[in-house]
């Protein structure tokens, strides 16, 4: 029997990374997940064991902010999924708290991958690296890049700067060093959790179901299912047409009130009614004066952004679930895990 192909996934504790790891283990890869805190390994293994066979899963310690550990983490790997990057609910006062780990961590991972003779790195970027800072534009494709410092917040800057640094790194490799890079740019990711330590993206559904918000600001999000994001990462890992490309991974745009309506219809009868009324923009702007999490959404009021997914569908034969299924699966998961 031949040994399974070894892959590494950075930030194995994360919401998306756990789905990527589950999909890789399902397909027979041996997975080494990096963690900042190795003490979390057994809890993560137990969570994944509810979904798949975990005997080929191991962990290695590495932090995006330090050189230590990356060579050992990526040794003998054919593929690396670079998923880790800070994604907090509220922007830090100092934007470098996000930009530095995102950019320097990406460069550390790529340099270690090149040293280890890795064939391909798949990096998780974001539509935040594509559509931020363009006031006059509402439709975006892969050729678009966010404008850093123009209306965007620290998170968008961190994703844009890190992705640009990754492409510059690959372009600067000496001839003969053939490290390949593919970038996946998801929109707001929803769908079931593998581990109850959720992600910032799940907060939208959690806050609605927990009735922590008085209603719905007039804003929305382009959405994608976490299982479809994981599948995109896996196809990007081996598809011969993918290297050198970034792929928008997104489906439809939904207003918050539409998401709330669906949650209310589905979970209201189960004892979880959801507030569905739209809040006037003036009220949201007043609350934003006191609440930084609300201030972050003010630029999105009344805006719709659409991200073209033609390239990922064509090149990677990517399929996406209906968003109603994704939104209800998110609610089911939050309730099953006792988070709601
Ligand atoms: P998440 O659950 O918060 O995962 C983030 C991961 O990054 C965690 O494993 C975290 O480790 C790790 N990390 C943060 N700072 C680190 C550091 N200094 N060193 C090492 N690891 C560090 O978020 P997610 O939603 O899964 O996001 C994963 C990736 O997808 C990120 O790159 C994010 O920008 C991107 N993305 C997410 C969405 C979305 O809607 N969820 C959309 C587009 C793109 P700890 O557990 O130790 O903190």
pLDDT digits (tens, 9 = 90+) for 88-107: 988 888 899 999 999 999 99
| pLDDT at 113 > cutoff 60 | yes
Distance 106 CA to ligand 1 centre (A): 12
- Give the largest CA-CA distance in the chain: 65
Mean pLDDT across the stretch 200-224? 93
In degrees and rounded to multiples of 5, residue 186 shows phi and psi of -75, 155
DSSP 274-324: ---PEEPHHHHHHHHTT-HHHHTTGGGTT---EE--HHHHHHS------HH
To test the pocket of ligand 1, the residue of 8, 9, 16, 130 to mutate (highest count of ligand atoms within 8 Å of its CB) is: 16
Using a 10 angstrom Cβ sphere, with 0-12 exposed, 13-18 middle and 19 or more buried, the burial of residue 36 is: middle
To test the pocket of ligand 1, the residue of 8, 9, 10, 11 to mutate (highest count of ligand atoms within 8 Å of its CB) is: 11
Cα distances (Å, whole numbers) of residue 332 to 190, 224, 326 = 12, 17, 10
Distance 302 CA to ligand 1 centre (A): 28
pLDDT band at 150 (very low <50, low <70, confident <90, very high): low
The verdict on the CB of residue 152 being under 6 Å from ligand 1 is: no
Mean pLDDT across the stretch 32-47? 97
Kind and range of the H or E element at 32?
strand 30-35
The verdict on the CB of residue 312 being under 6 Å from ligand 1 is: no
Q: Which of 43, 93, 150, 159 is catalytic?
A: 159
Beta strands 220-225 and 253-255: pairing type? antiparallel
Kind and range of the H or E element at 249?
strand 246-249
Mean pLDDT across the stretch 65-81? 98
- Asked if 170 and 185 touch (Cβ cutoff 8 Å), the reply is no
Six-digit token string for 300: 């999105």
Domains of the chain with bracketed CATH? 6-193+224-251+305-321 (3.40.50.720)
Kind and range of the H or E element at 44?
helix 41-49
| pLDDT at 328 > cutoff 90 | yes
| pLDDT at 151 > cutoff 70 | no
| pLDDT at 67 > cutoff 90 | yes
The verdict on the CB of residue 189 being under 6 Å from ligand 1 is: yes
- Which residue bears the tokens 């060579």? 71
What strand order describes the sheet that includes 220-225?
Answer: 188-190, 220-225, 253-255
- Alpha helices by DSSP H, 125-220: 154-171, 203-209
pLDDT band at 180 (very low <50, low <70, confident <90, very high): very high
Smallest CA-to-CA distance from 298 within 289, 310, 306, 308 is with: 289
CA–CA distance, 25 with 4 (Å, rounded to integer)? 10
- Residue 74 in 3-state DSSP? helix
Using a 10 angstrom Cβ sphere, with 0-12 exposed, 13-18 middle and 19 or more buried, the burial of residue 75 is: middle
The verdict on the CB of residue 222 being under 6 Å from ligand 1 is: no
The CA-based angle 324-308-19, given to 5 degrees, is: 55
Kind and range of the H or E element at 7?
strand 6-10
Beta strands 79-82 and 30-35: pairing type? unpaired
CA–CA distance, 131 with 175 (Å, rounded to integer)? 33
Active site includes 159?
yes
pLDDT band at 300 (very low <50, low <70, confident <90, very high): confident
CA–CA distance, 315 with 51 (Å, rounded to integer)? 28
Distance 82 CA to ligand 1 centre (A): 10
List Cβ neighbours of 157 (8 Å cut-off, separation of 6 or more): 95, 98, 99, 146, 148, 149
| pLDDT at 272 > cutoff 90 | yes
In degrees and rounded to multiples of 5, residue 173 shows phi and psi of -70, 140
Lowest-confidence pick of 21-30, 71-80, 296-305: 296-305
The verdict on the CB of residue 156 being under 6 Å from ligand 1 is: no
Mean pLDDT across the stretch 259-287? 95
User: Within a 13 Å sphere around the CA of 61, how many CA atoms are in the beta-carbon half?
Assistant: 6
């Amino acid at each position: 029997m031949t040994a399974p192909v070894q892959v590494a996934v950075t930030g194995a504790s994360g919401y998306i990374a756990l789905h990527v790891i589950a999909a890789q283990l399902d397909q027979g890869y041996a997975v080494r997940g990096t963690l900042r805190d190795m003490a979390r390994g057994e809890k993560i293994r137990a969570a994944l064991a509810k979904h798949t066979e975990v005997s080929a899963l191991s962990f290695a310690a590495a932090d995006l902010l330090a050189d230590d550990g990356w060579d050992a983490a990526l040794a003998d790997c054919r593929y690396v999924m670079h998923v880790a990057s800070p994604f907090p609910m509220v922007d830090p006062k100092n934007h470098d708290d996000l930009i530095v780990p995102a950019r320097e961590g990406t460069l550390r991972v790529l340099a270690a991958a090149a040293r280890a003779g890795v064939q391909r790195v798949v990096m998780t970027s974001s539509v935040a690296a594509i559509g931020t800072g363009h006031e006059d534009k509402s439709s975006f494709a892969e050729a678009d890049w966010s404008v850093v410092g123009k209306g965007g917040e620290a998170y968008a800057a961190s994703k844009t700067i890190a992705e640009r640094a990754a492409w510059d790194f690959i372009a600067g490799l000496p001839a003969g060093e053939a490290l390949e890079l593919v970038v996946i740019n998801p929109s707001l990711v929803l769908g079931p959790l593998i581990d109850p330590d959720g992600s910032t993206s799940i907060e939208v559904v959690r806050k609605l179901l927990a009735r922590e918000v008085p209603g719905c600001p007039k804003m929305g999000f382009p959405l994608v299912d976490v299982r479809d994001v994981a599948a995109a990462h896996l196809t990007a890992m081996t598809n011969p047409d993918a290297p050198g490309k970034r792929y928008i991974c997104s489906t439809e745009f939904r207003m918050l009130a539409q998401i709330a309506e669906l949650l209310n219809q589905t979970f209201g009868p189960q004892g979880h009614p959801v507030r569905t009324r739209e809040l006037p923009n003036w009220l949201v702007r007043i609350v934003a004066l006191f609440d930084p999490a609300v201030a972050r959404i003010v630029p999105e009021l009344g805006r719709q952004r659409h991200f073209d997914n033609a390239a990922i569908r064509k090149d990677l034969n990517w399929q996406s679930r209906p968003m109603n299924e994704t939104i209800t699966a998110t609610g089911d998961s939050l309730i099953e895990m006792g988070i709601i």
